[in-house]
Each structure stands twice: as C-alpha cells, then as structure tokens.
C-alpha cells in the first residue's frame, strides 16, 4: 500500500476516452474478449468441418504461337498480337467447349441434372449446366509464358479430374476444327479464284485470237517495220518528184514569158536543148550553105536549086513542128509531174491512215497481250502456292501440347481449415473487443484515475493500491 498526501493537479483534456481508460476497460473485460474469441474459432472449426469439400484438378497446356500462312506466304507470330492469348482463354471457357464436355463426361446423365430437368425444363437445365462448367473453370496465365493452367473445381476428386481433362481435350478439338475449317475454306476460295483466273485467261486469249484474225495482224513488230519502210520510200520519191515538178514549172513559166515576148519557138531554151532539133538546125544550116553555092552558080530555076529550096523549107517546117512539140512536151511533163505528185501524196495519206489504223489495232492487240500476261502471271503464282494450300487443308500441325494431364487431387482445396481459423482469430478478436467496449460504455465504472479526473471537477490527492 502506498499513500501520499501530496496534492496533484492534473490537467486532462475534456471529452473522449484516453488510451489508459481504454486499456483499463479491455483489461477488465478480458474474459469476455477471450470467450468471444474461443466461441468464434470453435464455430469456424465446426462450420469448416461441416461444409462440403471442393477438389481442384489442374492441367497445363503449352501454346505454340507459330502459324504458317500459305496464302500470304509469310510466317505469322501471334505473340505480337495481344488478342491471341485472350482469344485462347475465351475459347477454353466458351459454350462449344462446355457442350463437348457435357457429351464427353456424361454430366447430362447425372441425378442432379435429371432433377434440374424435371424442375426447370431441359433448356434451362442445360444452360445452367453450361454456366456451372464455365463458372467452375479457371484459366491461369503467367506473364511472358506460353503455358496456361486449366483448373476445374468439383465436389469429388474424380469429377474434377475427368472434367478438367475433358475441357482440355474439347478445347484442342475445337482449335483443330477451327483450323481445319479455315484451311478448307481457303482451299475452296483458292479453287474458285484459280477457276476464275483460268476463265479470264481463256476469254482474253479468245478475244486476242479473234481480233488478230479480224485485222490480219500476227507479228506486230514485223508489220510496223515494213510499213515504216514503205512510207519512207514514198516520201523520198515525193520529194524527188516535187523537185522535178518545180523545175518543170519554172521552165514552163520562162517559156511562156519568152513566147509572149515574140521569141520564135526554135529559139526557146527548152527547144535548144533537144538533140533532134539541134541536128535539124545543123542540117538546115548545111542546106542553106549548099543552096547559096548552087544558087550563085546554077541560078534559082535549076532543078538542084529548087530541090535544095524544098529541102530547106522542109527542114524549117520540121524544126518548127519539133519546136512546138518540144514546148508542148515540156508543158505535158509539168502536168505529168504534178499528177505524179498528187498520186504520191494520196498514196502517202492512205498509207498514213492505214498505219494509224494498224497502230490502233496493234495497241489493242498489245493491250490484250498485257492483260493475258498479267492474268497468266497471277495464275502461275497462284498455282505455285496451291500445293501449300492443299497441304495446309489436309495436314494440320497442332499448336497445342498437353504438358500435364489433370490427376485426381489427394486433398480438397476448399474449405481450408488453416485459412479459416486464421480469419476467425482476427474476427473473434475484433468482435470481442467490440463487445467489451460496448459493455463498458453501456455501464461505466471507475477503472483508473482518468475516470475520476475526467468526470469529477476535483483535484486528485493520491493513489491507494497497486498501480
């Protein structure tokens, strides 16, 4: 016992509870707290023992992301596609997989399913069973890993094992069916495309042949060379004829001018160039010379003189006639050259029109040939890949491998006694503390000096008892 007469003035805050008060309350009610804790733990143990056991079977599946695409001709890596893994997970928990599991395991023959059919009808019972399978299936992935873990929870180890393995098999079968359908669909589409390409190539070839027969062109290059050479020869001839016609026109104009000026026909330059007229003039000059000699000796009435006079007159008449003929011939030559020039121009125009038509025909033929070559190249490329398409549609390499099949679990996974007891301890302590505080606050007692100091406006004189 300790006693003090010393006056102690203690200043305490108004309102609320101090930590010392709370500690004193809890210490006084420790029996209640421990009792509540014990009851909570005991109830948890009993409930855990009575709850139905849940068993979890696990199977590991390896996903190989390689997938050869024979149509695109490239190697596609779905690891670059974030949606690929999620798609696989959704497939595992899809309705087609659950349907296959129902058929494989025979869950529709269970008493539970038959009871649900009687109560809700077959359609609703079937939907509930599908939903139950998906709800009890868990798919776990690991970061940067190609292995996925498929878990299934059931009320018995055998059911958990059978359903887990059935889910994996159904998933692999669905994956194979999708791959097979896709490959066969590509093959059918490819067959249709090849048939379309063949038909298009045959149509173009037929049009090309008919058009060549219609226009009479087989070798476009050879016909172009021949026609170009012909056109060149005609143009060269035309230039020569034009030059000759211009010269003839100039001569004709000069001759007409001299004739209008009174120049005798035999003095014209075009006439003087004629050899026969030159010979006639030489003969006339010789006849005049002989006529002068004979006329001076024999006189104008001599038969020789008369004969020479007649010869001179005949030569003059002949020279005049030949001169007129020469002038006319020169004029006719100008007309002939003009006609020849017109004829050459006409031939050149016809040949040019023909060449333009032939060019149009050749362009059409070349267009058909380009179309045919383009279709042929596409067809050859498609045929080269067709073997890959056939192989892909008939030979299927699995991109799924079961690393570990599910086995019957030796122990249940739910409920776990250790986890439940640990949780019950926490809950029991919280509940016991709450009950103790509620009981103390409902009926206050003096547990420590703070209870007096806070509730009485008197100074604390001392302590009695063990502190």
CA distance linking residue 52 with residue 112, whole number of Å: 16
| pLDDT < 70: residue spans in the chain | 1-16, 65-82, 182-183, 218-225, 263, 265-274, 276-277, 280-281, 291, 295-297, 299, 387-398, 446-467
Q: Are 98 and 133 in contact (CB under 8 A)?
A: yes
For the domain spanning 55-191+395-404, the CATH number is: 3.30.70.1130
| pLDDT for residue 7 | 35
One DSSP character per residue, 150-206 reads EEEEESSHHHHHHHHHHHHHHHHHHHHHHHHHHHHHHHHHHHHHHHHHHHHHHHHHH
CA distance linking residue 316 with residue 102, whole number of Å: 137
| pLDDT for residue 2 | 36
Burial class of 83 by CB neighbour count within 10 A (0 to 12, 13 to 18, 19+): exposed
CA distance linking residue 382 with residue 190, whole number of Å: 8
pLDDT per residue as tens digits for the range 356-410: 887 887 888 888 888 888 888 887 887 777 766 666 555 555 577 888 888 888 8
pTM exceeds 0.85 for this model: no
Strand partners, 138: 151
| pLDDT for residue 427 | 93
| pLDDT for residue 226 | 73
Instruction: Please give the class, per CATH, of domain 220-373.
Output: mainly alpha
pLDDT per residue as tens digits for the range 288-328: 777 677 766 676 777 777 777 777 777 777 777 777 777 77
Domain ranges, ordered by start, for the chain:
19-51+415-455, 55-191+395-404, 220-373
């Amino acid at each position: 016992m300790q006693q003090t007469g010393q006056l102690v003035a203690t200043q305490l805050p108004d309102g609320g509870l101090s930590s010392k008060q709370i500690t004193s309350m809890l210490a006084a009610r420790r029996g209640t707290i421990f009792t509540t804790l014990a009851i909570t733990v005991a109830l948890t143990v009993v409930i855990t023992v009575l709850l139905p056991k849940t068993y979890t079977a696990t199977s590991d599946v390896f996903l190989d992301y390689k997938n050869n695409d024979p149509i695109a001709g490239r190697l596609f890596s779905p690891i670059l596609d974030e949606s690929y893994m999620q798609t696989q997970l959704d497939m595992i928990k899809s309705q087609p997989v659950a349907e296959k599991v129902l058929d494989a395991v025979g869950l529709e023959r269970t008493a539970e399913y038959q009871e649900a059919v009687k109560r809700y009808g077959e359609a609703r019972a079937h939907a509930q069973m599908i939903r139950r399978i998906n709800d009890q299936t868990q798919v776990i992935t690991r970061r940067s890993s190609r292995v996925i873990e498929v878990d299934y929870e059931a009320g018995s180890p055998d059911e958990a094992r059978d359903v887990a393995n059935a889910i994996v098999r159904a998933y692999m079968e669905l994956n194979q069916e999708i791959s097979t359908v896709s490959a066969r669909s590509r093959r059918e589409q490819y067959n249709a495309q090849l048939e379309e390409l063949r038909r298009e190539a045959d149509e173009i070839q037929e049009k090309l042949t008919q058009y060549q027969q219609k226009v009479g062109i087989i070798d476009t290059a050879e016909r172009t060379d021949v026609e170009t050479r012909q056109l060149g020869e005609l143009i060269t001839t035309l230039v020569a004829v034009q030059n000759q016609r211009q010269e003839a026109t100039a001569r004709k104009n000069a001759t007409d001018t001299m004739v209008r000026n009174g120049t005798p026909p035999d003095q014209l330059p075009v006439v003087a160039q004629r050899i026969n007229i030159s010979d006639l003039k030489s003969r006339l000059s010789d006849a005049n010379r002989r006529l002068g000699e004979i006329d001076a000796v024999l006189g104008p009435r001599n038969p020789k003189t008369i004969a020479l006079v007649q010869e001179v007159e005949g030569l003059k008449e002949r020279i005049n006639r030949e001169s007129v003929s020469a002038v006319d011939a020169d004029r006719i030559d100008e007309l002939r050259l003009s006609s020849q020039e017109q004829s050459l121009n006409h031939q050149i125009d016809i040949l040019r029109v023909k060449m333009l038509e032939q060019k149009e025909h050749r362009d059409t033929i070349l267009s058909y040939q380009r179309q045919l070559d383009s279709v042929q190249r596409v067809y050859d490329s498609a045929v080269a890949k067709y073997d890959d398409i056939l192989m892909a549609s008939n030979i299927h390499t699995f991109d799924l491998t079961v690393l570990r099949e599910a086995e019957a679990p030796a122990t249940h996974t739910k409920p776990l006694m250790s986890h439940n007891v640990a949780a019950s301890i926490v809950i029991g302590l919280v509940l016991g503390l709450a009950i103790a505080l509620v009981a103390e606050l409902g009926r206050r007692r003096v547990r420590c000096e703070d209870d007096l100091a806070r509730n009485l406006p008197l100074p604390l004189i001392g302590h009695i008892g063990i502190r």
